[in-house]
Amino acid sequence: MSSSPSGESAPPGYALGLADGSYGWYLKAAIKARRLYRFTEVVQLLVSAAIPVTAVFHPGNARTPAVLGGIVVVVTGLRAAFHWQDDYVRFSQAREAVEAERRLYRTGAEPYADTSTRDRVLAASVTRIEQQEMGTWVQLASPHRDSREAEAP
């Protein structure tokens, strides 16, 4: 069991529970992001392909192709706004980084060989992984400046 700077001890199993919880969250989030990305990819492809087909089968009716085109625009906007493919990659990388730390911890490999510090090191490693992933998300979610603004004095 390790002590915190305030002298309090973390309960037994806290660090591994933290790592397991983080792993589980990243696993579920990656699966959800992958499913949403794939679903919108398929919808976009099918609806895009249906536009010329409806124009051929219903010449003179511009409404159906126009509505389908609007759906493509909305789906494209959703994908750009929510970054599901980027999320899938980020969450998968974080999940695998946490898994690597869990394996080292469970086998007692460095940096987890010292039983007096291993819980503290694991908690710090998981926190670092989560903070790195969050930092990437912040960069992705931050509004991008126009290149002309970047060049202004």
Q: What is the pTM of this model?
A: 0.81
Q: Which of 88, 96, 90 is nearest to 38 (CA)?
A: 88
Cα within 13 Å of Cα(105), Cβ side = 25
Contact 72, 44 (CB under 8 A): yes
pLDDT digits (tens, 9 = 90+) for 9-43: 778 799 999 999 999 999 999 999 999 999 999 99
* 83 has pLDDT over 70: yes
Q: What angle do CA 147, 88, 99 make, to 5 degrees?
A: 125
